[in-house]
């Protein structure tokens, strides 16, 4: 049996209780190794000496960040980096993405959702927590979006028009295993067993 490659994650946050709680949870995931630090200086030292990491997660307002300068430093050094924030800062989501970050997460998101977001970003996806997004479309205001991420909604829309996993991957510019992971999480959240049931649930809810 071939062992699954574990994701190496560097998590920097000066809020000790939150950091330790999330790290404890993430370390229980079979596919993750998590290294915690408390500020940007420690993070930079760690990714330089112990990298590369599959993902570096930086708290937006911890010591050393100086606005988005800490993010710019990580990007300049070729780090795959995402930000995490405890505040609703929707106006920064687009700016962070344009600078080259692979994600912008909310500390209020469930721990399992955080774990899944880390997996997506490590596989090349970009991820923004739904409560950090800007003005939402009519679809995004639908009650079902309280359950699903934006990418899961995109996958569901393609499922509703009968596209295969490979076709969805091509349309969204992602990998087929990533589509399957989104699909699995979507099924669980909707309480369905397969793509047909998922499409029926979306149709019954008049989502698309």
CATH number, residue 63: 3.40.50.2300
Instruction: Confirm whether 30 is domain-assigned.
Output: yes
Higher pLDDT pick, 51 / 144: 51
Structural domain including 41 reads 7-132
In this structure, the answer to whether residues 161 and 89 fall within a common structural domain is: no
- Whether 3 has a pLDDT exceeding 60, the answer reads no
Residues 123 and 177 in one domain: no
Same domain, 37 and 11: yes
Q: Final residue of a domain: which of 101, 132, 163?
A: 132
Higher per-residue pLDDT: 92 or 36: 36
What rounded mean pLDDT belongs to the chain? Answer: 84
Q: Which of 103, 135, 133, 139 is nearest to 120 (CA)?
A: 103
């Amino acid at each position: 049996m071939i062992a699954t490659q574990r994701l190496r994650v560097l998590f920097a946050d000066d809020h000790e209780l939150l950091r330790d709680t999330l790290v404890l949870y993430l370390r229980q995931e079979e596919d993750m190794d998590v290294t915690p630090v408390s500020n940007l200086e420690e993070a930079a030292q760690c990714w330089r000496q112990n990298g590369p990491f599959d993902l570096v997660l930086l708290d937006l307002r911890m010591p050393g960040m100086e606005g988005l300068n800490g993010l710019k430093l990580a990007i300049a050094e070729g780090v795959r980096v995402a930000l995490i924030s405890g505040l609703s800062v929707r106006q920064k989501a687009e700016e962070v993405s344009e600078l080259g970050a692979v994600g912008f997460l909310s500390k209020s998101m469930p721990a399992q959702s955080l774990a899944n977001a880390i997996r997506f970003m490590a596989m090349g996806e970009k991820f923004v927590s739904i409560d950090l997004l800007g003005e939402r479309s009519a679809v995004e205001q639908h009650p079902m979006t309280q359950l699903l991420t934006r990418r899961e909604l995109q996958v569901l829309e393609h499922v509703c028009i009968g596209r295969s996993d490979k076709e969805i991957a091509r349309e969204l510019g992602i990998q087929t295993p990533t589509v399957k992971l989104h699909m699995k999480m979507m099924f669980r959240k909707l309480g369905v067993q397969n793509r047909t049931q998922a499409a029926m649930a979306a149709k019954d809810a008049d989502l698309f």
